[in-house]
Amino acid sequence: MIQPVHPNHDSEPPTPGAHRRIPLADATATEALGGQLAAGLRPGLVIYLQGDLGAGKTTMARGMLRALGHAGKVKSPTYTLIEPYALSRLDLYHFDFYRFEFPEEYLEAGLDEYFSGHGVCLVEWPDRAAPHVPPPDLVIQLDPAGDEREATLDARTEAGRSCLTTLPPLPAPPAANS
């Protein structure tokens, strides 16, 4: 059987600016990245914060909230499911679904309303509410790297991609020796 050939599709590069990897040497660096991303937050954005327990998800959320002008505590929503913040520029809802035993608990808790509004939704442990939790514009994955962490940012929509444009540009690759 003759296979159709689509060389352009096969070699299509990933959308520019949709994917970034950033080393985070300590918790201050994690907060600082959150602060940089805060500048790109827009109403209605859904951001998944992924990574194991202790990966730095809540630390990243704290950095965003501080940069948006929240001066008080940033509590982990592990027990409350949601911590809402009314900030001067936007509303932000911080979720943590770690304690869900069944994804349907997301529906029972009536949380869908938050996702259909104008707030920014930051979600820790979104997989525990899948497939009910709405899909993300941006996925922030945090992984251990020795005592440090590495963030992988993956924009899934145009809105997510424009959030990443607020980050400093990547360092230029080293010049090739001639």
Nearer to ligand ADP, 46 or 60 (CB): 60
DSSP label at residue 128: G
57 is a contact residue toward Mg ion (CB under 5 A): yes
**Which partner from the list ligand ADP, Mg ion, none does 29 bind, CB cut-off 5 to 8 Å by kind?**
ligand ADP
Nearer to Mg ion, 30 or 58 (CB): 58
76 is a contact residue toward Mg ion (CB under 5 A): yes
At closest approach, how far in Å is the CB of 57 from ligand ADP? 3
Nearer to ligand ADP, 121 or 161 (CB): 121
Residues 151, 142 contacting (CB under 8 angstroms): yes
At closest approach, how far in Å is the CB of 36 from ligand ADP? 14
At closest approach, how far in Å is the CB of 99 from ligand ADP? 13
Q: Please give, one letter per residue, the 3-state secondary structure of 38-50.
A: HCCCCCCCEEEEE
**Which partner from the list ligand ADP, Mg ion, none does 90 bind, CB cut-off 5 to 8 Å by kind?**
none
Rg (CA), the chain: 18
* Cα distance between residue 65 and residue 157, in whole Å: 22
Q: Which residues of 57-83 are buried (b: 16+ CB within 10 A; e: fewer)?
A: bbbbbbbbbbbbebeeebeebeeebeb
Site residues (vs ligand ADP, CB under 6 A): 24, 26-27, 29-30, 51, 53-59, 147-149
At closest approach, how far in Å is the CB of 32 from ligand ADP? 10
One of 30, 50, 58, 59 touching Mg ion (CB under 5 A): 58
At closest approach, how far in Å is the CB of 78 from Mg ion? 6
Nearest to 89 by CA among 122, 130, 118: 118
Which residues make up the interface to Mg ion (CB under 5 A)? 57-58, 76
